[in-house]
Structure 1
Amino acid sequence: MPTNTSFHDFHKGDNGYTLGEDNARPQRTAIAPVGNPTTRTQFTKFVQRWLYFEVLRAVLGHLHQFDLLHFIRRDTEQNSYITTERLPRYLEDWLDFESSNPAESVARLLQAQLVLDRARRYVFEYCSVSDVHSRPIWPIDDHVALSIMILGETLTSALIKIRRQKHMNIHGWSDNDYSSQGWGYSRLVLQKMRAERWCLKTITMLQGVLRNNTIGLLYALQIPPQEKAEISHLQCTETECKPVAIPSTPGSNIDLQNPEPFHCKECDRRTCKEVQVNSRELNRIIKQGKIPLLRYRHEAGKIDLVEMNASCNKEYVIFSHVWADGYGNKNANAMNKCVLDMFRNLFNDIKSENVIQQSHGRMETPENFWIDTLAIPVETEFDDQRKKAIRKMHDIYTNAKYTIVLDAGLMSVDKGEGYIKPAMSITLSKWMTRLWTLQEAVLSKSLYFNFSDQVYSMDKLEKLFQQEDAPLHSCLAFVSRAYYHGILEKESRRMHGPDSTPEDRITKPAFVANVWKAVQWRRTEHRQHETLALATLLNVDTDSFADSSYIKKKKMIYDGPELQRRMQKLVDLLAARSPCAIPAGIIFVPGPRLEEKGYGWAPRTWLSSKEVEPPDPLALQVKKARLNVPHGLEVWFPGFRLHNLRNKQDLLNDLSEFHFPADRWLSQWYRVIPADEKEPLPHRSRDRSRELAIVAPQLLASNPKEIGLLVAIAREQDGILFVEILHRIYISVEGDAEKIRVWRNDFLAEDFGSLSCGERLSTEQHWCIDGQQDNQPLKSFITNGNGELIKPLSNKNRSFTESFGLRVSNTFHSITKR
């Protein structure tokens, strides 16, 4: 059992091991060396005592009835096991205690926050794994690691709820966002998912969507993904899904790339006929600048076309679907009769629901509908009309009365009771992983999900959230709500709410940033579709991308350069918005970047499947940006200018980390390490005369690592630093007093080694971020939507910096490995 040592001192040497603040390797004090089986058992006990029992004591120990023995049970053979049976009651007592003793409540809650933050950092870095093949840094038992993660996420969720009820939110102390409540991923859970034949790509995407929450993954295991056919995912990787169909009968052939047209379960396929739209009439309506709506006549088995003018003066429903489920059609604008009958039944289901709510004055559900399979031409001869139809898709989605989601997985399961099960089912659905469906969700006024037993509105589902999120001992409702965040429902409410204005529909940096975060975990089978889908969602001109949806065109090859050209065009269109719609924080996001001069800061794809590191740079909406071709993206961020202290031109060569002070008293030191896994800081073989600098989203005031950019300064003019991105980095305030003492002594002894001095720059330092700079004269221009240079920009006043106290030569200053 744990001793009376406090949580913060437990790891400092009196309990078998010593752990430094930034030391992943435990140091032995009184037991066998790390590495043999005995040591693994002993170290597991040490970690369990500290990060499980001492965390419990530190957070709940002030309660009068608290006893650690309540969290241990013994069987008939006196074997000990952890139990959390009494934890829910303890958490309720915690809330009661804080309500009854408000005088010192702030101090207690802040102390609990400090304990959970430190414990989470150790667990996340040393017990968590990134994928099924990884091993945690600490050699502890996987079951113990899982129990610590579950306890930590439960206590963190409870603390946030208690703080919320106490209306306590101290900036810098009690900030918890959607991404900071998970404690990592258990190798045990990931291995279990893989053993149950989950796709590695799906697992990776789910990890990102659930934001490091292992309780969410555990619950997801109870709702396995639904497959229409027997599918093997043994060939899948973390970055690519490579499903292989296993025929149910010998000799049968299942083509996953070209799925068979969808049929209802009750359908008699021998009599079910395909119903086709009159293509000539369809294209006539589109050519006249109108929008074709559809109305199905069940008795006649025909589809009528209904003309709607550009003002969208008719009510209609949109059906949102996944192509792989068989609702698409490459050869003609047609669908099976049984599917159209299903649409008709869904209309009746929604009508029935609205009849119950007719006291609110709601109108009868319209029977006009729109679905891309039937309303966007597919024949080669109507290519121009196809592009015209695509240009209107943003307005079509925005003005629909309802959107009904058709997903094969959801349609094969009952909705279930309450909030958690249906919400997690939606989160796990294939519909949530596709790029095209995002625009339909975000731009829709009202969403309905079609389960096997009922069609259910998201509004109705969300009314259950607060009730099921109330218990302190459960964070499942919050985790299951990942679907809500993933379809940007708050953005949709802003655009479609009763108080919305035309201003709310303008594409702004905040909206673009949220779209990037929602898109990063989605995918599309055809990479050329990415820019078209994004342009439609962001309401910019789709003319340059409309041909990408015509997948039937012969020998259409979308290679790397073509994809980059399209992404560059999308950047130009966003930059041409007034104000510029590019979020400044996009320079910090992970993934490959564009290669074209002036665009080296921009992501090559938004489908990165990579997490955004804290602090969320895309949440810094007060920061502005503007595109300045060919010089790059102009942004205003704080940072450091690095000065080498050795009169020597060395390369930054395969360095794993470096450190620098930022004041003349040598009291505050910073640590820099690569942010992208398994990549050392780069070998810079270009111009050796360039200085180095660091661009940071915000001024660091705490120890946890934060994202930043290591850049090389190409030149400086009028206070603007023109820089080339070398590497994404983590930068943190060094908290190890012993390390600081050694570095200070080296610095004073002029034994600089890899040490540099950092000159703190203005909080509004003006940067021009490119990735490819040359020495051509500065011409400050911005671009229009076609990438053409237009009006000149006036030079801003030269920014001031806080001097380090030492000025060194402007010749090249680098960092060398010590």
Structure 2
Amino acid sequence: MDFLALPIGLQNGALVPDLGGPDYDNSGFANYPERQGWQIERLLSGDIVGARDEWNEYSQMVMRDIPPDQMPETGEDLIKAVTGPFIQTWLFFGLFHEVLSRPVLRSECSFTHRDHENSSKRYLSAQRLFTEFVQRKEQIKDDLVWCARVSSCLRQASWALTNLDMISETLGGFVIPGFAQLALCVLVRTLDDHSVIFCQPHIRPANASLVRCRWLEQRLLDNGWCPNLVKRFRTDLGIEGLYYASLINFVDLDRSHGGCTDSACIAYNHAKDETYIFQHSVRYCLCKDEHCKHLADSCICSEPINMGTAASEAAAIVRQGQMPLLSLVEEGSHQKIQVTPFCHGIKYVAISHVWSDGMGNPHKNSLPLCQVQALDYFVRKAGASSIDSDQAYFWIDTICVPRAPDSLRRSAIATMRDTYRDADCVLVICRELSTIRLPSTPDEILVRIFSSKWMTRLWTLQEGALAARLVFQFADHAIDYRYLDDFMIAAVLDVTNTSRLVGNRANLNLASITSIISSASLEDAQGEERQKTYSSLWNALRHRATSRRSDEAVCAAILLDVNLGPILDSPHEKKMEAFWTNQDRVPTGVLWVNGPRMDIDSLRWAPKSLLDARTWALSFPDRGLWASRTSAGLIFEGIEGFSLVDAPLPTIENGVLEFHDVRSRVSYYISQMQNVGNAQWTELAENWVHCALLWRETPPPDFFAAGALVSCNKTEARITHARWLAQVCVSVKGGEWDQIVLNGPSEFSEGKVTSEAVPVYSVPSVEYLGPDREWCIW
């Protein structure tokens, strides 16, 4: 893994053991296991003993260089000690042989190193081979033969590693030593990604992004990592990103994440305001006590004398429909907070913070003087100049959003979009960043931003998305995100001897937030831009959490520029209903997003929650078509589908519907999407009348496509009324999806869609429904 960029201060990453065994024969990747006497399907299904007919001779070759005192003590350990070298030789040397188009010898990438016990062991190095691969990018970019061969090899390697990782749970242990398996996972993902970058569009990704290393994940979880952080790193930054993160000392690992899941971190939620403790700024705290924890109940640092006055002045400005700005000014020998209504020409900084860091106050609009002094210092350093160079204006919700009355608080929240959009910059102050010095590499800066709780909270999403300029505060320096973005865009193609994809993926994740709002306002934006906003919002909501679930409707409305008044006035349990009913138009893509639906007539098509992990599991489908929301339902046209004439209702839950399209002479399967909140087949009996399928893509690809199953209960000359039934998956019978299920990882092999595996219910006949039909889905 020495071909990856490392965090600052580390000269070397984990050493990858050379497991030994017979040298690679350089005679082709695909058939290497067979040439070596392995039945790879048995091995990858967990039948390790049956994976070879002969073990003795092969094991002697593998174990010939192992000292007697290091020999495996049990038969199970012996089998694993033999299997590991075979897998490592096949994948490491075999893949480099293919991508470099030359034999790769163990002598050019294996070295001896003495450990802390002065024991000499052999390890593998891939940096020279990776450098040679990068230097070939001009040679291979249009080599179609190379692309086809390498893509096939990487796909086979990904499949092998995926199976090896899965069978570890069944076997109760890992077939390959931890660091060796991790290194292979990282190698496959890195070679796959760079091959696609160098050779697009001639090569497709080999699904290496799905490769996991449960050994590393479990190691981090045992060390107190949040399951959500582990999942985010693995899915968004890749297995190499998770490895990179394991080398970093994070600030906030002392918090308990026992209640967190892999889809959301709730460790920073606040169930009760009474339990909230705000903190003082260590830098400016007046107590001067080295042992002080600088918490509200333990620190003697007082509030500014005029804090109550500042809060009332801010409330008065909000009451007048304006935005209050704060600044710290000298008044004789003292300092005071000055409150100024915003007017054109004043440049100010909007503060974005996470409440669990202690910069909030659920009881009153107040902050300790030391916090205000720290904010003044940070704002000045952020580089926001104003019409008065002696004053630094800033906005922070703790003081500028009145706690009471509710009507005044709602007024301030209703203008929050303008507050963050009009700021000269949005300054992010987060404990994980502001308590450490700025790392010297953009890669580590971006990884640390990615790992911070600021990236997992709901309110901070809209604060970052609306920013004209986003700045992150570290202990010694504030850095403008624009610099990081420019650097990483150039770095992704400027590859020499190390891969920069970890930092680049962290940057793409952050860029997905800043790109939610286009440069044009939504009022002036064309439909296409607003569609992109929906799609970007859906992606950015992944893994986010909030203390009050009803806030999701408020934050989404702010980003989509939906009328906030009715949403803020609605009870908590009705806010999502108000969110949908206060939009005149929504993209038709909402029909194919995952997740539970509203159980209210006229809104049964609408997602019940935007933060549900099932809802954001897949990207928002962008069809470029709009639907009108009315009190009767969602009205649209331009969507194709089929009327399923006399379709039988499956009586077994894993049953699928099969129908034949005579126009294209293709047969399709319809199966219920799993784990998305669908009603069971049998629960649809009451509304199972004149069913129709609406599909997202026309025609659907050979893989699979999302579809919506509806029940037409009223048909008029102009419009067809239908009740939403379920989210379904449409796949081509005998297509690519069937082949992947048949030939893919072992845990999916029993899921192939055949009459022997699952019940198939044939639809007697179908009628094609063209795009000119108008629908009203309620």
TM-score (norm 2): 0.76
Q: What is residue 508 of structure 1 aligned with on the other side?
A: 530
Give 1:261's aligned amino acid: Q
Task: Flag the 1:345–1:687 CA change in 2: closer, same or farther, 3 A.
Answer: closer
2:652 is aligned with 1:653: yes
2:481 is aligned with 1:455: no
Query: Do the aligned partners of 2:259 and 2:266 also contact (CA within 8 Å) in 1?
Result: yes
Query: Do the aligned partners of 1:432 and 1:483 also contact (CA within 8 Å) in 2?
Result: no
Shift of 1:238: 3.6
Give 2:612's aligned amino acid: S
Q: What is residue 267 of structure 1 aligned with on the other side?
A: 285
Q: What is residue 808 of structure 1 aligned with on the other side?
A: none
SS at the partner of 2:706?
strand
Structure 1 segment 293-442 matched on structure 2, within 5 A = 293-299=325-331, 300-309=334-343, 312-351=344-383, 367-379=392-404, 382-442=405-465
Task: Flag the 1:196–1:739 CA change in 2: closer, same or farther, 3 A.
Answer: closer
TM-score (norm 1): 0.72
Match of 1:537 among 553, 559, 562: 559
Aligned length: 694
Match of 1:91 among 130, 133, 137: 133
Query: Do the aligned partners of 1:59 and 1:115 also contact (CA within 8 Å) in 2?
Result: no
2:613 is aligned with 1:609: yes
Query: Do the aligned partners of 1:656 and 1:680 also contact (CA within 8 Å) in 2?
Result: no
2:186 is aligned with 1:187: no
RMSD: 4.7
2:187 is aligned with 1:151: yes
Match of 1:484 among 510, 513, 521: 510
Q: What is residue 602 of structure 2 aligned with on the other side?
A: 598
Shift of 1:258: 0.4
Shift of 1:709: 3.4
Of 297-306 and 440-449, more deviation after overlay is shown by: 297-306
Query: Do the aligned partners of 1:660 and 1:670 also contact (CA within 8 Å) in 2?
Result: yes
Question: Separation in 2 of the partners of 1:693 and 1:11?
Answer: 49
Question: Separation in 2 of the partners of 1:319 and 1:727?
Answer: 41
2:176 is aligned with 1:141: yes
SS at the partner of 1:260?
coil
Task: Flag the 1:509–1:665 CA change in 2: closer, same or farther, 3 A.
Answer: closer
Q: What is residue 722 of structure 2 aligned with on the other side?
A: 722
Give 2:582's aligned amino acid: L
Shift of 1:694: 5.0
Shift of 1:84: 1.7
Question: Separation in 1 of the partners of 2:352 and 2:666?
Answer: 58
Question: Separation in 2 of the partners of 1:737 and 1:349?
Answer: 55
Identity value in percent: 19
Q: What is residue 5 of structure 2 aligned with on the other side?
A: none
Shift of 1:626: 3.3
**Alpha-carbon displacement from aligned partner over 1:533-570 (angstroms, at most 9, x marks no partner):** 2222222211123368xxxxxxxxx6xxx53x211211
2:210 is aligned with 1:220: no
Shift of 1:526: 1.3
Match of 2:99 among 43, 59, 83: 59
Query: Do the aligned partners of 2:326 and 2:394 also contact (CA within 8 Å) in 1?
Result: yes
Question: Separation in 1 of the partners of 2:444 and 2:680?
Answer: 45
Question: Separation in 2 of the partners of 1:32 and 1:533?
Answer: 63
Query: Do the aligned partners of 2:590 and 2:621 also contact (CA within 8 Å) in 1?
Result: no
Q: What is residue 112 of structure 1 aligned with on the other side?
A: 150
Query: Do the aligned partners of 1:127 and 1:137 also contact (CA within 8 Å) in 2?
Result: no
Shift of 1:405: 0.8
Question: Separation in 1 of the partners of 2:164 and 2:545?
Answer: 30
Task: Flag the 1:505–1:697 CA change in 2: closer, same or farther, 3 A.
Answer: closer
Match of 2:576 among 567, 576, 599: 567
SS at the partner of 1:296?
strand
Match of 2:762 among 752, 756, 762: 756
Task: Flag the 1:181–1:291 CA change in 2: closer, same or farther, 3 A.
Answer: farther
Query: Do the aligned partners of 1:127 and 1:136 also contact (CA within 8 Å) in 2?
Result: no
Question: Separation in 2 of the partners of 1:161 and 1:44?
Answer: 31
Give 1:489's aligned amino acid: T
Query: Do the aligned partners of 1:723 and 1:768 also contact (CA within 8 Å) in 2?
Result: no
Give 1:88's aligned amino acid: F
**Alpha-carbon displacement from aligned partner over 1:46-91 (angstroms, at most 9, x marks no partner):** 6556555444333332xx4655764556789998754423232221
Per residue, is there more helix in 1 or in 2?
2
**Alpha-carbon displacement from aligned partner over 1:180-224 (angstroms, at most 9, x marks no partner):** 7724331012111112101224334444543xx111111122234
Give 2:553's aligned amino acid: T
Give 2:319's aligned amino acid: K
**Alpha-carbon displacement from aligned partner over 1:714-756 (angstroms, at most 9, x marks no partner):** 457468583533344373625559989xxxxx99x9xx97263
Give 2:653's aligned amino acid: D
Question: Separation in 2 of the partners of 1:92 and 1:698?
Answer: 37
SS at the partner of 1:293?
strand
Query: Do the aligned partners of 2:379 and 2:394 also contact (CA within 8 Å) in 1?
Result: no
Of 505-514 and 295-304, more deviation after overlay is shown by: 505-514
Query: Do the aligned partners of 1:256 and 1:324 also contact (CA within 8 Å) in 2?
Result: no
Shift of 1:396: 1.3
Question: Separation in 2 of the partners of 1:329 and 1:267?
Answer: 17
Shift of 1:3: 5.5
Query: Do the aligned partners of 1:333 and 1:375 also contact (CA within 8 Å) in 2?
Result: yes
Task: Flag the 1:639–1:661 CA change in 2: closer, same or farther, 3 A.
Answer: same
Match of 1:232 among 221, 242, 256: 256
SS at the partner of 1:536?
helix
Question: Separation in 1 of the partners of 2:664 and 2:106?
Answer: 46
Shift of 1:291: 1.8
2:466 is aligned with 1:443: yes
SS at the partner of 2:420?
helix
Structure 1 segment 681-692 matched on structure 2, within 5 A = 682-684=681-683, 686-687=685-686, 690=689
Of 622-631 and 538-547, more deviation after overlay is shown by: 622-631
Match of 2:227 among 200, 203, 206: 200
Task: Flag the 1:255–1:414 CA change in 2: closer, same or farther, 3 A.
Answer: farther
Task: Flag the 1:439–1:659 CA change in 2: closer, same or farther, 3 A.
Answer: same
Task: Flag the 1:604–1:480 CA change in 2: closer, same or farther, 3 A.
Answer: same
Query: Do the aligned partners of 1:435 and 1:519 also contact (CA within 8 Å) in 2?
Result: yes
Query: Do the aligned partners of 1:682 and 1:726 also contact (CA within 8 Å) in 2?
Result: no
**Alpha-carbon displacement from aligned partner over 1:749-785 (angstroms, at most 9, x marks no partner):** 9xx9726369695684858585xx6xxxxxxxxxxxx
Task: Flag the 1:291–1:406 CA change in 2: closer, same or farther, 3 A.
Answer: same
SS at the partner of 1:182?
helix
**Alpha-carbon displacement from aligned partner over 1:510-533 (angstroms, at most 9, x marks no partner):** 202211210132111111222112
Give 1:590's aligned amino acid: N
SS at the partner of 2:154?
helix
Task: Flag the 1:700–1:47 CA change in 2: closer, same or farther, 3 A.
Answer: farther
SS at the partner of 1:595?
coil
Q: What is residue 290 of structure 2 aligned with on the other side?
A: none
